[in-house]
Structure 1
């Protein structure tokens, strides 16, 4: 059965990832969009989700590709109307918001999916399998990119609820929580806040873990030139390196796999499966680490940032 879907938010991520993934999947029909400032040619557009829900009762699923700050109200409206809901990462501004949405979905008997697109990178399953029987000695995440390239002029990322550098950093955390053979938690953090901004532009995190391994993460939004999305893991059975956000896998310095970009295609495939089975998927472990980093983090003020 083809599910009719409404895509909320027609910005860069929607055009680059969501729209191609929906178009390529026979389980989905893009039936409507919701955006105040943009539209998709040939698709009915609404400026509010309330108008869309009232006019299109035939739509079964709503995918939210909007910033986290307004997302709760949109998701709540869709769930209350009996629609399945797909949440772009991070799934909300806070853990409590997402718990409330999950409970509402349960009450309404619909599916909700908190997506983590980086978990769908091609080399993530291979890394998880390779690590399963090994003792980890050291893990170092280095996630450095240029905020001006990926969020040009988007002040919402530096506003409360926007997460700052954890907007990309949570991608690394979603991979880490997927591939490790045991759970970890934040032990300490240092968060660098520009003097004119409300969320951090950089962060250094230390984790504690059952093996007593040295585990750190460094996030930075000020890197120009080549971008860095790496996870290095030293074990008793060799060294693993995931690079390019999980698309390339090296073992002991040798490239063993270079994957293709199927992340969002996999997300929409998973959403269709959840609906067909009447299930939900709301794993908040990456977001727990972000929340703990804000709770435990020492604040450091750095130079002002301007787009």
Structure 2
């Protein structure tokens, strides 16, 4: 059962830069304990929002969906508005927004949210370019609001166990195979073929895990394969290094049949393999138990703890490797892409 805490009561007032910290809902969690839940809105109701964000919020004890900003949402169970400002007027206790729009043109949305005193969470990739994404931390800091630029694959269940296993071992070589079918994961979404995206939409997931395991990884060379009728690559081969350790990555957006998301780490004391996008961990071919939970569940739990604190988590190292690939990559043309192939 939920009961509103009115932000106009004296006990709920704080300084303006922290006014949303206590704009919350209380509810019985079913275990005889009342917990506080922040009001959050989804901005952009596309496939990723429906597949991941909405179910995660529905299951959250710390957050609840208070509204949606979308130009095409219909028959939702919460208020829907065309802009964040309009939604804030409908939902005065709104504390935060989660941006699920395509990465282009997010700056005005972030400016609008921060200007309304809202904390901001951003789906990956954070922006269309690194230089734009670099602005966001300063904007949030000036507004005194929390900002979370997310990399959901870092929260896969096997990533932290793999990092702990790797600590104290000498890594000899690492290989990455990240291959999926764009027709399955982004059906008909033409924005995915805008310059600077393409296969790096999934590829940056691998790079986010890589930079968690091996911070400071550098890119040395790349080959990018572009469909004859598209402005973004459908395949990419990357040559990277962490110190003297060679790292090779093969990305594809044209993988038919079983999808492949694996990372293999060869060390002086065994071989680790992350499978299924970091969801499973194998050490010398034997599967190792990993924590339960979901990537987006951990993202939102982290963001809930950030709300009202002014904390900023905005690591751009995976995005910089993408930019480096476009800067250094040799271009090749391949056959035209068809959604209905």
TM range (shorter): over 0.9
Are positions 1:171 and 2:205 aligned together?
A: yes
Identify the range of structure 1 (198-207 vs 250-259) with the bigger mean alpha-carbon deviation: 250-259
- Give the match for residue 116 of structure 1: 151
Question: Which structure would you say has the larger Rg?
Answer: 2
SS state at 2:312 partner: coil
Quick one: structure 1 residues 304 and 261, their matched pair in 2 at CA, closer, same or farther if it must change by over 3 Å? farther
Within the candidate set 265, 271, 287, 1:233 is matched to: 265
* Inter-partner Cα distance in structure 2 for 1:132 and 1:277: 31
* Number of aligned positions between the proteins: 304
Q: By how many angstroms is 1:242 displaced?
A: 0.2
Q: Would you say the 8 A contact 2:79–2:90 is kept in 1?
A: no
Within 1, Cα distance between the matches of 2:108 and 2:309? 26
Q: What is aligned with 1:45?
A: 80
Corresponding residue SS for 1:41: coil
In structure 2, what is the Cα distance between the partners aligned to 1:16 and 1:173?
22
Report how far residue 250 of structure 1 moved: 0.6
1:91 aligns to 2:123 (yes or no):
no
Residue in structure 2 matching 1:66, options 101, 123, 129 = 101
1:68-83 → structure 2 map (5 Å cutoff): 68-83=103-118
- SS at structure 1 position matched to 2:105: helix
CA distance in 1, matches of 2:311, 2:74: 31
CA contact (8 A) 2:222 2:237 kept: yes
Which moved further from structure 2: 117-126 or 40-49?
40-49
When structure 1 is superposed on structure 2, of 131-140 and 37-46 the one drifting more is 37-46
297-306 or 139-148: which moved more? 297-306
Q: Which has the higher helix share?
A: 1
Shift of 1:94: 1.2
| Pair 1:147-2:179 in alignment | no
- Cα distance, 1:40 vs. partner? 5.7
Partner of 2:18: none
Deviation at 1:139, TM superposition (A): 0.5
Residue 335 (structure 2) pairs with residue 303 (structure 1):
yes
1:267 — aligned with what?
A: 299
- CA-to-aligned-CA distance 1:210-250 (integer Å, 9 cap, x gap): 1x222111100111110000001101111010000001111
**Contact conserved, 1:34 with 1:52, CA < 8 A, in 2?**
yes
- Checking the alignment, whether the CA contact within 8 Å between 2:281 and 2:289 is kept in structure 1 is yes
**2:240 maps to what in 1?**
207
Q: C-alpha displacement at 1:99, in angstroms?
A: 1.7
Are the aligned partners of 1:53 and 1:78 in contact in 2 as well (CA < 8 Å)? Answer: no
Shift of 1:31: 1.0
Shift of 1:27: 1.6
Q: What is the root-mean-square deviation of aligned Cα atoms in Å?
A: 1.5
- Pick closer, same or farther for the CA change 1:261–1:157 going to 2, 3 Å: farther
Q: Which moved more, 1:170-179 or 1:63-72?
A: 63-72
On the 8 A contact 1:80/1:104 being kept in 2, the answer is no
Is the Cα contact below 8 Å between 2:85 and 2:116 reproduced in 1? Answer: no
Cα distance in 2 for partners of 1:6, 1:97 equals 23
User: Could you list the runs of 5+ residues in structure 2 that have no partner in the other structure?
Assistant: 1-35
The 5 A counterparts of 1:123-202 are 123-161=158-196, 163-180=197-214, 182-202=215-235
3-state SS in 1 of match to 2:188 = coil
Q: Is this contact kept in 2: 1:65–1:88, CA < 8 A?
A: yes
In structure 1, the residue matched to 2:312 is: 280
